[in-house]
Amino acid sequence: MKRASVFLSLSLVLVLTACGKTNPMLEQHPDYIGNWQSNTNSLKIEKNGQVTYKHNEHQDQKT
């Protein structure tokens, strides 16, 4: 049981350490990190390299 908890603790530490590091490409271009938005799109670039993209379709109603 003790080995399992030690293994789990070490695994968690490694995962958290890896997630906290800045992606090597983004170290050269820190201006890319952040939230980018337009009227219909949003792009979020995190320092670890994770990217989230959302697109919202918007249609104007003509009256």
- Examine residue 1 and state whether it is found in any structural domain, yes or no: no
Q: What is the pLDDT along the chain (63 residues), one digit of tens a residue?
A: 677 777 666 666 655 556 667 778 788 888 889 999 988 899 999 988 889 999 887 666 666
pLDDT per position as a tens digit, 12-22: 665 555 666 77
Task: Give me 29's structure tokens.
Answer: 């271009």
> How far apart, in whole angstroms, are the C-alpha atoms of residue 62 and residue 44?
32
Q: Is residue 7 part of a domain?
A: no
For residue 44, tell me if it sits in a domain. Answer: yes
Nearest to 47 by CA among 30, 35, 62: 30
The encoded tokens of residue 38 equal 């337009």
- Residue 14 resides in a domain: no
Beta bridge partners of 53: 43
* Whole-prediction pTM: 0.55
Q: Is 29 part of any domain? A: yes
